[in-house]
Amino acid sequence: MNMSMDAFFEIYGIFATVVLIVLGIIALLCLLRAIIGPTPADRIVAINMLGTLTMSMIAVLLVKLREGYLADICLIYALISFLAVIVLCKVYVGAYLTKKKVKEARKNGNS
Amino acid sequence: MEILNLIRLIAGCFFIFLGIIGFLVEVLGVYRLGYTLDRMHFAGSGDTLAFAEIILGAVIINGLNFTSAKLVLVLIIFWFASPVSSHLISRLINYTEENKEEHFHVCDEEESKQYIEKQ
């Protein structure tokens, strides 16, 4: 079979389009999970998954477009997604402990 | 040479396909399981495997160059970052969950001492 590099990337381009569509559907499902998730932890898990899905999309797109700079964007996205999870966890724990403290203070004040 | 390219294409597409399957299973698990820690376990392990497979497929198709090295760097950083975020999420659940005794057994100090002595 005669296969030049152009044909190689043409076939991969069709495959990558299908893959990107499927990844988009999965990302929508993750967003739905983030909306309906009953606890804050569920939402953070869904956000974490969304970040990973976006990184995979960038990696697939990088090979499709043959643009090397997208790897740097993928790297920055990984770091920012990690930072977002850390900050969200810290903020939620802090808010929860403050709320608990306020509730206890109110209870002691009443009694 | 052409045969080699064809094999490269098939192998790369196969690995990306496996990654897609991994993500689908992960989403299925996150929807099916009822408790947050189970969901977190599924999401964390699924993320690690599926992302690795997709990066592997992209590297195989891209060939050996500097961009592939950067993709591998992204994978290594993700493998360090993902367990840490899972740990933080589980700590958040441990702090904020009101009725965690319903879902799993929480040891007190004596019980954990007995467990350590038994080991």
Question: What's the CA gap between A83 and A90, in Å, rounded?
Answer: 11
pLDDT at B107: 78
pLDDT in tens, A35-71: 997 888 899 999 999 999 999 999 999 999 988 899 9
Closest partner residue to A29 (CB to CB) among B5, B27, B95 is B27
Is B20 close to A19, i.e. CB distance below 8 A? yes
pLDDT in tens, B17-49: 999 999 999 999 999 988 888 899 989 999 999
Note whether B75 and B52 are within 8 A (CB): yes
Domain ranges, ordered by start, for chain B: 2-118
Q: Rounded to the nearest 10 degrees, what angle do helices A40-65 and B66-96 cross at?
A: 170
Closest partner residue to A45 (CB to CB) among B16, B62, B89 is B89
Which segments in chain B show pLDDT lower than 50?
Answer: none
Question: What's the CA gap between A63 and A61, in Å, rounded?
Answer: 5
Average predicted confidence (pLDDT) for chain A: 90
Which strand (E) or helix (H) includes residue B57?
A: helix B36-62
- B39 — contact with chain A (CB < 8 Å)? yes
Backbone dihedral region for residue A66 (phi beyond 0: left; psi -120 to 50: alpha; all else: beta)? left
ipTM score for this prediction? 0.87
- Specify the pTM: 0.88
Give the chain A residue nearest B51 (alpha carbons): A56
